[in-house]
Structure 1
Amino acid sequence: MLSVFKRELFSFLNSLTAYITIGLFFLACGLMLWFFPDTSILDYGYAELDGFFSLVPFLFMFLIPAITMRSFAEERKEGTYVLLVTKPVTDLQIILAKYLACVVLILIALLPTLIYYYSVYQLGLPKGNIDSGAVTGSYIGLILLGCAFTAAGVFSSSLTKNQIVAFAIAVFLCFFTYTGFNSLSKIQALQGIEAFIANLGINEHYQSISRGVLDTRDVVYFISFIMVFLGLTRLILGGRKW
């Protein structure tokens, strides 16, 4: 499993696509945080990163599918998956190795954004006038969100040999699981169970963690979400004749 993880991670790091994708993500975050009038901290006038943490999930909907789309789609297109399964590793180990490699890349993409926290910390009047607890909670929420989207992206990549199709499916799954249930809960015919429906979506649990309170129910939700999509990936791969 470790050899598959290293192979997957280094194949990402040795490709220009990974650096371009992560660079565009960092650039988009910077532009929205400092330059765009509607989201700029300088125009807002308060030392907080709420706008940043509300925008990143939507950037994740494109960043993560761009990273995960090649996980299995490329292997199947080039026929290298047949060679991979001949190694002494199980389907689950292959899935976990590819999944963890993608998660590491997401963490690498998030790491430079800590400079935004440092900048706002220094710009606050007085210096340090920022809710560090809420920021910590929001970063934990982003990491869990990234892990959840990655699981959905890996699943999408197992469905097809075409990376573009895998990307499109992953974008749809990420968008729907993040915002779709909230939209469904507002339908008049579903009044009375709107809270239950909203709780099925990621956004409700992400916002809960972003408040700085780490609730066990939210953590269990994210772990369950990840396990469901990785389980579906194993089901898809195990049901095919390669």
Structure 2
Amino acid sequence: MYAVFKRELFSFLSSMVAYITIGIFLLVSGLLLWFFPDTSILDYGYAEMGGFFSLVPYLFMFLIPAITMRSFAEERREGTYELLITRPITLWQIIFAKFLASLVLVFFALIPTLVYYYSISKLGFPEGNIDSGAVTGSYIGLFFLGAAFTAIGIFASSLTKNQVIAFVVCAALCAFAFLGFDYTSQVSALGSIQGNVSSFGINQHYTSMSRGVLDTRDLLYFLSFTMLFLLFTRLTVGGKR
């Protein structure tokens, strides 16, 4: 499993795709946080990162599909998929290795954004006047959100050998998982179950963690969601095997 993980990770790092993708993510998030009038924290006037954490999930909908689209699709396109599945490791080990390699890249993309926290803390009046608990909870929420989106991306990549199709499918599924249940819950015909429908969506649980309160229900939700899509990947890869 470690060999597959290392090969997958170094495959990303040896290509320009990972650096360009992460660079664009950091550039756009920086512009949205500091320069664009509608989202700039300098215009907002308060030392808090709520605006940043509300924007990042939408950036993840493009960053993570770009990272994961090649996981299985490229193996099939280059003809190395058959060699991979005949190695003396289980399908679960292959799936987890690819999942962890992609998640490590997402983690690498988040690390430079800690500069935003440091800068905002220094700009606060008095200095350091920022809710560190809420920031910590939001970063933990982002990590679990990234894990959920990464599992979706691995699943989407297992469906096809075309990376573009894998990207589009992943982006669509991530958007629906994050926003679809919230929009569906607004349908008046659902009546008393509107709140229950929205609880199936990622947004409600991510928002809860962003308040700085780590509820076991939210953690279990993200873990269950991630494992569900990894199971779908296992069924897809196993069926094609």
**In structure 2, distance between residues paired with 1:33 and 1:87:** 46
* 3-state SS of paired residue (1:136): helix
Quote the residue 1:19 is aligned against.
Answer: 19
Q: Which amino acid aligns with 2:82?
A: V
1:185 corresponding residue in structure 2: 185
Specify the code of the residue in structure 2 equivalent to 1:206. Y
CA-atom RMSD in angstroms: 0.5
Distance in structure 2 (CA, Å) of the matches to 1:162 and 1:232: 19
Match of 1:34 in 2: 34
Q: 1:11 Cα deviation (Å)?
A: 0.3
**After superposition, what is the alpha-carbon deviation per residue over 1:123-178, rounded to whole angstroms, capped at 9, x for unaligned?**
00000000000000000000000000000000000000100000000000000000
**1:24 is aligned with what amino acid?**
I
Superposed displacement of residue 87, structure 1:
1.2
Q: Matches of 1:68 and 1:29 in 2, distance apart?
A: 20
Which residue of the partner structure matches residue 110 of structure 2?
A: 110
Q: SS of the counterpart of 1:239?
A: helix
Whichever residue aligns with residue 216 of structure 2, its letter is: T
C-alpha distance in 2 between matches for 1:208 and 1:34 = 25
Counterpart amino acid of 1:186?
Q
Measure how far apart 1:91 and its partner are. Answer: 0.6
Once residues 15 and 78 of structure 1 are traced to their aligned partners in structure 2, the CA distance between those partners, rounded to angstroms, is: 16
In the other structure, the counterpart of 1:10 is 10
Distance 1:126 1:204 in 2: 32
**Bigger mean CA deviation after superposition, 64-73 or 188-197:** 188-197
SS state at 2:104 partner? helix
What secondary structure, in the 3-state scheme, does the structure 1 residue paired with 2:169 have?
helix
| Offset, 1:240 | 1.1
Query: CA–CA distance in 1 between the matches of 2:191 and 2:56?
Result: 30
Aligned length: 241
Deviation at 1:42, TM superposition (A): 0.4
What is the TM-score normalised by the length of structure 1? 0.99
> Does residue 1:140 correspond to 2:140, yes or no?
yes
Runs of 4+ off more than 3 Å: none
State the Cα distance separating 1:85 from its structure 2 match: 1.4
Equivalent residue, structure 2, for 1:101: 101
Unaligned runs of 5+ in 2: none
**Deviation string for 1:181-217 (max 9, x for gaps)?**
0000000111210111000000000000000000000
Residue identity opposite 1:113 in structure 2? T
TM-score by length of 2: 0.99
Write out aligned runs for 1:42-61 (5 A): 42-61=42-61
* Identity, % of aligned positions: 67
Aligned partner letter, 2:113: T
Structure-2 residue corresponding to 1:197: 197
Measured after TM superposition, the shift of residue 10 of structure 1 is: 0.3
- Amino acid in the other structure paired with 1:121: S
Corresponding residue SS for 1:192: helix
How far is the alpha carbon of 1:79 from its aligned partner?
1.0
